[in-house]
Structure 1
Amino acid sequence: MLDELMRRGWPALEEVSMDGWLARFSGGVTQRANSVLPLTPPSDVDAALSRVASTYRARGLPAVFQLGPTVYPPDLDALLAARGYAYGSPTLVMTASAAEVLDRLPAGAARVTVADEPDEEWMDLWWRVDGRGDERARSVARRILTAGPARYATAWDGAGAAAVARLALVDGWGGLYCVAVRPDARRRGLAAATTQALVGDGGARDCWLQVRAENEPALTLYRGAGFTEVARYHYRTRRLPEGSR
């Protein structure tokens, strides 16, 4: 269930089935949207691995696997390591009931607005804090963000947009993404304010989020909001040979 929530909460622009594995492509923008989900056992693991490598290489992309709560075959991580796929981006998956989050994060004094689409101020702040790449990458990222139902929160101060966050809406769940705070506005409770506004507005019964294992400030916020760890995932990446792009 968690793999499916995460897949739909951050949807790739293209998905291709490869003998039970799901290969995702989005022009190289974000690992999640450009990686393989090994959801069911392939009939021939070696053939599937070869097809993955050649397909991503043909698109000018490194072959990347997201290894989450459900992995087939179970020893895939070891197989990829043996083939030279590098380990990276260890990430926690956390869940909480919406009621718990709202109880833990009472509405604050910040002015927060919530919308169905990310406006340019929302995009500008998120991209300044978390974006990677040029205007083409930003355009692709916006398509990913808006490919499924979601709500977008912005906290405001005298200088404009001070913090943003996104809540993906999937089958009664809310997935928290893109929490970003303007550097000069940090430590003012604005990440908590946008989270509270989204959870209170989105109509979700339960919530999930993904957070990098080393991000202690974010973990402190989320644990304080009632989120608990339920799973972990990481990536295995096979870099392109030099000059192959």
Structure 2
Amino acid sequence: MRDATTASVLASVRRLEAVGFRAWPAEQAIYDGSWLIRLTRAHPSKRLNSLNPLDPGDRRDIAGRLKAAGKRFAAAGRPLTIRMTPLAPPELLDHLHGEGFERFDESIVMSADLSQGAGEGLDQLPLRDINRFIDARLAISGEPESLRAGLCSILAAIKPETGLFLLQSADRPSAVALAVLDGELIGLEQVAVAEAERGQGLGKAVVQSALRWGHLHGARMAWLAVGAANAPALALYRKLGFSEVYRYAYFRERNEA
């Protein structure tokens, strides 16, 4: 029974990892066996610049492959960053601990059954203007203008259908969400609420609008990834019917300086 349960969980992880890669595509995707190297010069996102082991049984030459991956990351001007999900081999985790790598930034991948009410919300049409969405996202998050070109290229590279959602108050952007419709799955990316307007239900409203749009277009399940330390966002998503599927964390070489 335990083996069957483990197989079922890993199947869910594989499915969500695959749609996650399509929802937030990297400029380069390079495979070394089942280890996926994702690199993106135009944007510093860890998800877009990470080594992703995708098979617990792929434990061949861990030290040599990490060294080769490190050279690829260095050539791209990025630090070697390993994203560890339940698909990573335990031997790799042991190796990282033994070599002094440090763990940081844990995230939780959550899902919700849209037939249970998570698809309720305002019937809002998504934006068609990528630049307007990016303007709002940068203004709300306070991220630097230098990320504009990278965000534009990422959004343009998403192959599944997307919905760009924006809420405004007093002609200022208040909340944004990117929805990616991939078959019967809808993923949420880039969810953000303006700091001065948090606690007013805007996050719930923009997420529900995105989920309703996805549900009306055939989605049956929603998914998202949220920082494990982001208590307000976790509380919101749980209220909307999301529950944890799995976690992942990043590892990097320890800086001794």
TM norm structure 2: 0.83
List per-residue Cα deviations over 1:115-172 (Å, max 9, x = no partner): 245332x21231234364452x321122223322311101122233211101112232
Please tell me whether the aligned partners of residues 29 and 141 of structure 1 are also in contact (alpha carbons under 8 angstroms): no
Contact 1:3 1:70 in 2 (8 A): no
1:238 is the counterpart of 2:223: no
Correspondence for 2:168: 156
Match of 1:83 in 2: 99
Question: How many residues are treated as equivalent by the alignment?
Answer: 235
1:19 to 2:30 alignment: no
Alpha-carbon offset, residue 5 of structure 1: 2.0
Q: Could you tell me whether the CA contact under 8 Å between 1:117 and 1:146 is conserved in 2?
A: no
Identity of aligned residues (%): 30
- What amino acid is the match of 2:148? R
RMSD: 2.2
Say whether the 8 Å CA contact 2:83–2:251 is kept in structure 1: yes
In structure 2, how many angstroms separate the alpha carbons of the residues matched to 1:175 and 1:63?
Answer: 27
Q: Could you tell me the TM-score, scaled by structure 1's length?
A: 0.87
Q: Which moved further from structure 2: 193-202 or 223-232?
A: 193-202
Determine if contact 1:56/1:62 at 8 Å carries over to the other structure: yes
Distance in 1, Cα, partners of 2:83 & 2:152? 22
Equivalent residue for 1:143, pick from 137, 153, 173:
153
For structure 2, the 5+ residue unaligned runs are 1-14
Task: Name 1:99's counterpart in structure 2.
Answer: 115
CA distance in 2, matches of 1:26, 1:178: 17
CA distance in structure 2 between the aligned counterparts of 1:75 and 1:38, rounded to whole angstroms: 11
Matched, 1:128 2:139: yes
CA apart distance, 1:101: 4.4
Alignment CA distance shift 1:2-1:65 (3 Å)? same
| CA distance in structure 2 between the partners assigned to 1:83 and 1:138 by the alignment | 36
Do the aligned residues in 2 keep the contact of 1:101 with 1:196 (CA within 8 Å)?
A: no
Cα pair 2:131 2:152 within 8 Å, conserved:
no
CA distance in 1, matches of 2:81, 2:91: 16
Aligned to 2:18: 4
**Structure 1 residue ranges, 4+ long, deviating more than 3 angstroms after superposition:** 128-134, 239-242
> Are residues 113 and 4 of structure 1, via their aligned partners in 2, closer, same or farther at CA, if it must alter by over 3 Å?
same
Distance (Å, rounded) in 2 between the aligned partners of 1:206 and 1:118: 25
- Kindly tell me: are residues 239 and 60 of structure 1, through their superposed partners in 2, closer, same or farther at Cα, counting changes over 3 Å? farther
Deviation at 1:239, TM superposition (A): 6.3
Separation in 2, partners of 1:138, 1:164: 15
